[in-house]
Amino acid sequence: MAEWEILYYNLPLAGRAEFIRLIFEEMGISYSEPIKSFDEIREMVFNNGIGGFPVQFPPVLRKGDFHLGQTPVICKYLGEKFGLVPKSEEEKWQAEQVNATIHDFVAEGRLAFHGKRWIDSYHNQKEETQPYIDWVAKERIPKWLKYFEEVLKRNNDGQGFLFGSELTYVDLGLLQCLRGCEYSYPKAFEAADYCPLLKAFKTRMEARPKLAAYYKSERYAKHPQDTNSMM
């Protein structure tokens, strides 16, 4: 039987692939990351070397002939596959709303680090992009975090998960975007005393046995949280 694969840059950073890794890690389902070089990902993804339905950018989920792009869509797909979805139809769609918002936040948080040329490394535009980083830290981070705090609070007073009494793919997505935010906007995150539930949620999620083991593992060491680009 074909194995689950994540096609992503073979780089020492978590990146958007981390959203997908967390689902497999939490479920205890094995996966591999076969890409070994930038040329390989360029050939497979950018030049449609995988064939089949075109995908635009990594990360890509692959299993045999099936491959899928767009991180939020992959997370939703795996969520359905592994039973990590809310019970009611309404909540399923609300979960999707939060999933989309998480990935809007990631895109915006990342963009500030690449204000001059957004496909170029942050290190080549540090000075020019600093005003965008400062602005996002001051004006936008509170907006995003307050929203997620509100969503969390409405279920079980914010003491559990985002929906119902069981983990969903959106809890894992929220965890990863909070980690990205903390690493990339450390001062703004630390100063965010308006979202205590969210911070407690993050700590609680990171302590889940499978995730805690993952963060100590060799697999995580290969892809640590990126410190200067959100994703």
Ligand X SMILES: N[C@@H](CCC(=O)N[C@@H](CS)C(=O)NCC(=O)O)C(=O)O
H-type alpha helices, 185-230: 186-190, 196-206, 209-215, 218-222
**What is the signed CA dihedral for 216, 148, 117, 125, rounded to 10 degrees?**
-60
Residues 80-109 that bind ligand X (CB under 6 A): 103
Residue with tokens 């339905």: 53
Query: What is Dmax (Cα atoms) for the chain?
Result: 50
| CB-facing half-sphere around the CA of 28: CA atoms within 13 A | 3
Which residues, 6 or more positions from 97, have their beta carbon under 8 angstroms from its beta carbon?
Answer: none
Residue 16 engages ligand X in binding (rule: CB under 6 A): yes
- By the rule CB under 6 A, 119 interacts with ligand X: yes
Distance of closest approach, residue 58 Cβ to ligand X, in angstroms: 5
For residue 36, the minimal CB distance to ligand X (Å) is 16
Q: Where does the chain have alpha helices with state H?
A: 17-27, 38-41, 71-81, 89-111, 126-135, 141-153, 169-184, 186-190, 196-206, 209-215, 218-222
Q: Which residue is nearest to ligand X (CB)?
A: 71
Is residue 57 a contact point for ligand X (CB under 6 A)? Answer: yes
- Specify the residue, 114 or 202, whose C-beta has the smaller distance to ligand X: 114
Q: How far is the CB of 41 from ligand X (least distance, A)?
A: 8
If one asks whether residue 21 binds ligand X (CB under 6 A), the answer comes out as no
> Which residue stretch of 67-75, 141-149, 166-174, 188-196 sits at the interface with ligand X (rule: CB under 6 A)?
67-75
CB of 57 to ligand X, least distance (A): 4
Q: How far is the CB of 106 from ligand X (least distance, A)?
A: 7
Count of beta carbons in the 10 Å neighbourhood of residue 4? 17
The piece of 64-72, 138-146, 198-206, 218-226 that touches ligand X (CB under 6 A) is: 64-72
Residue nearer to ligand X on the CB measure, 21 or 103: 103
112 neighbors 133 (Cβ within 8 angstroms): yes
Q: Dihedrals φ, ψ of 230, to 5°? A: 65, -55
The residue from 7, 58, 96, 175 that contacts ligand X (CB under 6 A) is: 58
The residues of the shown chain that bind ligand X, judged by CB under 6 A, are 15-16, 57-58, 70-72, 103, 119, 231
